Structure 1
Amino acid sequence: MQSDVLIIGSGAAGLTAALNLADRFKVTVLAKGQLNEGSTAWAQGGIAAVHEAGDTFESHVEDTMIAGAGLNDRATVEMVVERAPAAIARLVELGVPFATETADNGGGLHLTREGGHSHRRIVHVADATGWAVQEALQRAATEHPNITLVPDMVAIDLATSRHEERYSGAGNVWGVYAVNRATGRVELHTARATILATGGAGRTYLFSTAPRGATGDGIAMAWRAGCRVSNMEMMQFHPTCLYNLEIKNFLITEAMRGEGGKLKLPPGIPGGGRRFMDRFDARGELAPRDIVARAIDHEIKRLGLDYVHLDISHKPPEFVKGHFPNIYDKLIGLGIDMTRDPIPVVPAQHYTCGGIVIDRDGRTDLPGLYAAGECTQSGLHGANRLASNSLLECFVFGEAAANHITANWDALKAPPAIRQWDESRVTDSDEEVVIKQNWTEIRRFMWNYV
């Protein structure tokens, strides 16, 4: 299949890019599984953007730099922060039903606060922001005549100049080879420009809040093709993943601590029932994620615990149910009433801060290849991502990549003849059990030592 632009990934970054390109070009979007199975739909908290009176771009920039331990690229941080309000406005136009204040309070967007933020600036849809964003973007993409959405296509390798029928050393990227899950065959998809929006590598860990498909495919493909990859050691761990032996990836949103949730030691031990975060940071529960995650890990190891408690039961039940309806329903199904009982939580891998090196236009090192979202190292996050900056990065860089492709279309070359996939390289299905065992060993090793 040949398109003008090929996008790998159907989440916030990929669909934002597609919608910004489709008025001029034919765009194909490949999804690893179903279109809504990526990380975007899983996002609970919200999107950070300056809206509150008294808040400033400079404050959002400083909060981001502090959370990232100063290893961020300041110019990139400033660009993303300054474009955030416009990104929110576009989502409103697409029909994302963001929470709003009552008429008595002005009727504007309801803003919440999360760890590391000095102001209320988190725009949200209750506790299911990502799902609402995914629905709006996917609906708009489905309705656009120039966008073709293709689920169940597992991209396995970039098609580059070394795959040309007449070999070229130019280093161009011409598309991808992808496994069609329905047929089991490897198909070639070509385009003048390719955008990787494949998400992070969270599922290389035993415990992660990421969806099953987040195995770093795009990062690996780009590295094999010759792109620089940076900061892969910067893995963010979310402080509050539900402790449940059957459900290892249910996130308890950062916004719960922003709305007054307290971290406490469980009863039955010295200091049980008491808060502990004030011993680690003056901001307490509102410290950045890396600090809170390390504090919880410290207490768990120091006291030989399985978990600590996140308690918001001191808030009125109507407040809790109104702010966190999806979490409330999920926990009720597991026998936990968060309006009366604390929630057992542990840290879990949450976000890949490093990835494919890109510039502020989303360009990688290879001609014709762009990237956006969690698969990248854009310079925004540094050593640790500030809460609710992830979806924001997807919108800003998805649009930036689309704008650069549009502005430089005449310089992008049409794909030459590319060889079909060499079937002799396909792994025998009898080896599937070995591959699964290798994955299990990798995940345990990463969890124990990385």
Structure 2
Amino acid sequence: MSAPVIVIGSGIGGLVTALALAPRRVALVTKAAPGGETSTFWAQGGIAAALGDDDSAALHLEDTLAAGDGLCDRQAAEAIIAGAAEAIGFLQRHGVAFDRDGDGRLARGLEAAHARRRILHAGGDATGAAVICALTRAVAETPSITVMPDTEVRRLIAADGAVCGLVAAGNGETLTIPASRVVIATGGLGGLYEISTNPPGNFGQGVMLAARAGALLADMEFIQFHPTALAADLRPLPLISEAVRGEGAVLVNEKGERFLAATPGGELAPRDVVARAIAAQIARGGRVYLDARQALGRGFPARFPAIAGICTKAGINPAEELIPVRPAEHYAMGGIAVDQRARTSVTGLWAVGECAATGLHGANRLASNSLLEAAVTGLAAARDIAGLADAPGRPLPSACLPRPARIGIVRDIVSRELGVLRTGAGLRRSIEALLALVEAEEAASDPALVALSIAVFAHRREESRGAHARSDFPLKKPHSARQAMTLSQTLAAAHALCHTPCRRSA
């Protein structure tokens, strides 16, 4: 029998990949229970898919390119958007029940910067949870998939530019597993930020694993901050979905002023525009609220049951009261550079979902394109792997198990210097501090490596574009391009900035 494909991560990207590979053997490695501690589970907004009679893939692409602010890979975006119907069909066949309207057709919602109502939901505002529940059930019923829960991959083993195994911690043991086909589907890096809507333990493990194995990273400077997380003393911060604004809710400050009224698109302007506007209100000492009283009123709990429950727990009645909101880290547009087959620059290594940089999002993700991307790229990776002959086994180089990551000290630096608005001086401070942590080879080294990549990419982009804003470079350059670097190149750039000799190359 063929050697199993290793899939690392159990969000939508990993689950779709594993299911699509059947009947080929797959080992699904996840640091929690399948679907647990994933960003997918928290997703409220839904999945963008141009399936309506008044819609088309061309219109969806146009909206995606506009939101991406000049840095989308057009060919990659076209391919992913064109795969929407196949991806939705795959999810439905594996148990995802999307919401229907009164006529039995797929219900379609509206979100920011979309020209059409094209957002599919499952379970109202609990789409992510519905997807995870359906796909984990399907995985459990698929004999070719072996789930390895409570197992954390801490290093990939590579030789001569190809993957040959991995080192993981599981059940109190060190596991060294031979592997020539590995798919990284580990999600995002929200745990690097104090204020985030994502699981606090997700610091970009997949990005770290790929970078240490020699893979190219791309677009690391572009971190999307969701404008409307619930302003509460909770971690992660609950999300007040953009779909609430899509149904007519408006943003007001503590004076009752609708401060986005004159902005093109208003409350449904691109996320970076709305997030910076809210951040500016808070920076001057004000507060910001989402007002859904007139648009939804008593219908709020029926339309958004999960959000209504979140608000109730926080002591807020959204049908009658204002909802306090603030920006929070939400999504990383950058990550492991991949092609349209989800291949990385390392032989035998694929990446899907948020940890991958496909070029779909450019400088700013269009709302609800992320779950679409994860499903489509999961199918692409599975298709590519299925068409390959088994790679010959090779001896595994010796590798030790690194200590568990310590995020706290890195989180302080990232939250202070790599937020909604950045400065050249702050970026330089962060690079100096993070470089020292990376090279100390201690428990903070792995999360510091991911954060250092963000900081170096951000320092090199001397403009404000999409989700990347710098106070010292507030304008866009007339010509701009995506950035891509390996770890060794990132370290060299950091050392050059700090005027110190480079002490390591990977």
TM-score, scaled to structure 1: 0.89
C-alpha displacement of 1:225 = 1.2
C-alpha displacement of 1:248 = 4.7
Q: Could you say what secondary structure the match of 1:111 adopts?
A: coil
| 1:10 matched residue in structure 2 | 10
> Identity of paired residues, percent?
41
Paired amino acid for 2:275: A
**Contact 2:13–2:353 (8 Å) recurs in 1:** yes
Deviations 1:333-353 (A, max 9, x none): 211000000100000110000
Deviations 1:306-356 (A, max 9, x none): x30001111354421111001101211211000000100000110000011
Q: Which runs of 5+ in 1 are unaligned?
A: 162-169, 267-271
| 2:487 matched residue in structure 1 | none
| 2:494 matched residue in structure 1 | none
C-alpha displacement of 1:109 = 0.6
Q: Does 1:189 align with 2:177?
A: yes
CA–CA distance in structure 1, aligned partners of residues 198 and 359 of structure 2: 21
Paired amino acid for 1:195: V
C-alpha displacement of 1:415 = 2.6
| 2:490 matched residue in structure 1 | none
**Contact 1:63–1:118 (8 Å) recurs in 2:** yes
1:135-174 aligned at under 5 Å gives the runs 135-161=133-159, 170-174=160-164
Residue 211 of structure 1 is aligned with which of 180, 199, 216?
Answer: 199
| 1:70 matched residue in structure 2 | 70
Paired amino acid for 1:146: S
Deviations 1:221-263 (A, max 9, x none): 1111111101110000000011012445211111000011100
Paired amino acid for 1:415: G
Paired amino acid for 2:161: G
Residue 306 of structure 2 is aligned with which of 326, 329, 345?
Answer: 326
**Contact 1:206–1:446 (8 Å) recurs in 2:** no
| 1:418 matched residue in structure 2 | 396
CA–CA distance in structure 2, aligned partners of residues 158 and 72 of structure 1: 29
Residue 386 of structure 1 is aligned with which of 366, 388, 391?
Answer: 366
Q: Does 1:127 align with 2:125?
A: yes
Q: Does 1:112 align with 2:114?
A: no
Paired amino acid for 1:111: R
RMSD: 1.8
Q: Could you say what secondary structure the match of 1:178 adopts?
A: strand
CA–CA distance in structure 1, aligned partners of residues 318 and 251 of structure 2: 13
Q: Could you say what secondary structure the match of 2:209 adopts?
A: helix
| 1:356 matched residue in structure 2 | 336
CA–CA distance in structure 1, aligned partners of residues 126 and 187 of structure 2: 19
Q: 1:47 to 1:246 in 2, by over 3 A?
A: closer
Paired amino acid for 2:27: T
Residue 276 of structure 1 is aligned with which of 259, 263, 270?
Answer: 259
Residue 286 of structure 1 is aligned with which of 268, 281, 286?
Answer: 268
Deviations 1:396-442 (A, max 9, x none): 0001011011112x1x413322145436xx54x9xx8xx45524433
C-alpha displacement of 1:443 = 4.1
Paired amino acid for 1:320: F
Q: Could you say what secondary structure the match of 2:10 adopts?
A: coil
Paired amino acid for 1:31: T
**Contact 2:247–2:295 (8 Å) recurs in 1:** no
Q: Does 1:98 align with 2:102?
A: no
CA–CA distance in structure 1, aligned partners of residues 165 and 60 of structure 2: 37
**Contact 1:156–1:177 (8 Å) recurs in 2:** yes
Paired amino acid for 1:174: C
**Contact 2:80–2:373 (8 Å) recurs in 1:** yes
Q: 1:438 to 1:113 in 2, by over 3 A?
A: same
| 1:167 matched residue in structure 2 | none
C-alpha displacement of 1:199 = 1.0
1:235-246 aligned at under 5 Å gives the runs 235-246=223-234
Q: Decide which moves more: 242-251 or 357-366.
A: 242-251
CA–CA distance in structure 2, aligned partners of residues 256 and 317 of structure 1: 12
CA–CA distance in structure 2, aligned partners of residues 145 and 92 of structure 1: 20
Q: Decide which moves more: 384-393 or 51-60.
A: 51-60
CA–CA distance in structure 2, aligned partners of residues 247 and 320 of structure 1: 24
Q: Could you say what secondary structure the match of 1:365 adopts?
A: coil
C-alpha displacement of 1:10 = 0.6
Q: Could you say what secondary structure the match of 1:326 adopts?
A: helix
Q: 1:41 to 1:436 in 2, by over 3 A?
A: closer
Q: Does 1:177 align with 2:167?
A: yes
**Contact 1:3–1:28 (8 Å) recurs in 2:** no
Paired amino acid for 1:175: G
Q: Could you say what secondary structure the match of 1:137 adopts?
A: helix
CA–CA distance in structure 2, aligned partners of residues 265 and 246 of structure 1: 22
Deviations 1:359-410 (A, max 9, x none): 00000111111111101110100001000000000010001011011112x1
Aligned residues: 418
Deviations 1:255-276 (A, max 9, x none): 000011100112xxxxx11211
Q: 1:352 to 1:300 in 2, by over 3 A?
A: same
CA–CA distance in structure 2, aligned partners of residues 72 and 65 of structure 1: 6
TM-score, scaled to structure 2: 0.80
**Contact 1:45–1:124 (8 Å) recurs in 2:** yes
Q: Could you say what secondary structure the match of 1:192 adopts?
A: coil
Paired amino acid for 2:72: N
**Contact 2:7–2:29 (8 Å) recurs in 1:** yes
| 2:281 matched residue in structure 1 | 299
Q: Which runs of 5+ in 2 are unaligned?
A: 428-506
C-alpha displacement of 1:282 = 1.8
**Contact 2:95–2:135 (8 Å) recurs in 1:** no
Q: Could you say what secondary structure the match of 2:377 adopts?
A: helix
Deviations 1:155-198 (A, max 9, x none): 1111111xxxxxxxx21102321111x31x32112223100111
Q: Could you say what secondary structure the match of 1:239 adopts?
A: strand
Q: 1:247 to 1:18 in 2, by over 3 A?
A: closer
Q: Could you say what secondary structure the match of 2:354 adopts?
A: coil
Q: Could you say what secondary structure the match of 1:72 adopts?
A: coil
CA–CA distance in structure 2, aligned partners of residues 143 and 440 of structure 1: 39
Deviations 1:95-114 (A, max 9, x none): 21211111xxx320110000
Q: 1:47 to 1:20 in 2, by over 3 A?
A: same
C-alpha displacement of 1:142 = 0.9
**Contact 1:171–1:367 (8 Å) recurs in 2:** yes
Paired amino acid for 2:222: M
| 2:292 matched residue in structure 1 | 312
Paired amino acid for 1:78: E
Paired amino acid for 1:33: A
**Contact 1:237–1:351 (8 Å) recurs in 2:** yes
| 2:496 matched residue in structure 1 | none
